Amino acid sequence: MYKRKILNMIILVVGMIGIFSCEYEKITYDAPDPTIPVSYAADIQAIWDKGCVGCHGVGKTPPDLTAANSYNALINGAFVDTAQPEQSGIYTCMITGGSMAAYTNASDAGLVLVWIQQGAKNN
Ligand code: HEC
């Protein structure tokens, strides 16, 4: 009996390690490499152009995410918090459960987070 309990415990622990390691793999797969410099003009604006400017255009719903205005709109509108990047409104609206999540995906949201973590530069 006692040996069987120990065996069951071992199976449970190994199973849990298996489950958590899968989850870990999945997260690292989705997250962009934080050491690669993100370009606002090339990488982030492309996300806005792809899924956002249809509604967030000039004179439409703020923030204006068109190429000429998006950087200033985000910084001046306080959608970016470089002290607490994960609290930035532009990031939280894009992740699962966020109000704009339907128009984007996890890897683009991850790229936006890395851009903010790297100082939200207009580069
Ligand atoms: C189908 C139209 C539509 C699309 C596409 C869209 N938005 Fe929005 N967005 C809105 C509307 C309407 C609001 C204002 C009401 C609200 O907050 O839901 C808004 C609000 C916002 C806000 C302000 C939220 C706040 O809490 O103040 C941000 C930031 C934002 N959108 C970012 C984005 C981003 C980034 C994308 C692209 C990934 C996007 N939106 C795509 C319609 C859209």
User: What's the 55 CA to ligand 1 centre distance in angstroms?
Assistant: 7
Q: Which two three-digit tokens encode residue 88?
A: 């930035």
Which residue's CA lies nearest to atom 16 of ligand 1? 99
Characterize 23-50 residue by residue with b for buried, 16 or more Cβ atoms within 10 angstroms of its Cβ, and e for exposed. eeeeeeeeebeeeeebebeebbbebbee
Confidence of residue 34 (pLDDT cuts 50, 70, 90): confident
Q: Give the C-alpha separation, 95 to 68, whole Å.
A: 25
User: Kindly report the CA angle at 25 between 102 and 30, in degrees rounded to 5?
Assistant: 30
CA of 49 to the centre of ligand 1 (A): 13
- Ligand 1, atom 29, lies closest to the CA of 90
Residues 42-88 have pLDDT tens digits of 999 999 999 999 999 999 999 999 999 999 999 999 999 999 999 99
Q: Are 86 and 100 in contact (CB under 8 A)?
A: no
Q: How many Å lie between the centroid of ligand 1 and the Cα of residue 1?
A: 60
